[in-house]
Every structure is written in structure tokens, then in C-alpha cells.
Amino acid sequence: MKYCEKCGNQLLDEAVICPKCGCAVAGKQPSKQQDEYAKKQAKGAVMIIAAIAIVVFVIVAAIIQYNG
């Protein structure tokens, strides 16, 4: 087994990108398909964080309006 140089995640010997952070494994280039997959994962994470932020904002605004 080997480990990602960026995040320390344990990797399979045949891995070319880290499944946790998407970083390329040293000495190997990720394929186009793997690169696109990593980008989709990052975009999905951003969308989830944005959705959570919007929900929190709406809840805080409702509480402020109710109390104020």
C-alpha cells in the first residue's frame, strides 16, 4: 500500500489519483476519465456546501425576523 502525498489517505497500489482529495499519485498521470471524475466530485462538494449555507442563512434570517 502507498499513501497520498497531499492528504495521507491510504491508496491502492494501482491508484493514479487519490479518491479522497483527487490529487495525482506521484509518478503516474491520471487518465482523462479520472480527471473528469475528480472535477465532478469537487463540483458536487461545492454544491452541497452552498446548499447547506443557504439553508443556514434562511434559518438564521427566519429566527431574526421572528425575534425582532
Tens-place pLDDT, residues 10-60: 988 888 888 899 888 876 555 677 778 888 888 999 999 999 999 999 999
The C-alpha cell at 35 is: 480527471
Instruction: Report the predicted TM-score, pTM, of the whole model to 2 decimal places.
Output: 0.49
* DSSP code for 30: P
Domain enclosing residue 12, as ranges: 2-67
Structural domains counted in the chain: 1
CA 67 to centroid of chain Cα atoms: 36
Q: Give the SS3 label for residue 9.
A: coil
Which pLDDT does position 53 carry in this prediction?
98
List, in sequence order, every residue forming a beta bridge with 3; answer none if it has no partner: 10
Q: Select the highest-mean-pLDDT range: 2-11, 33-42, 58-67.
A: 58-67
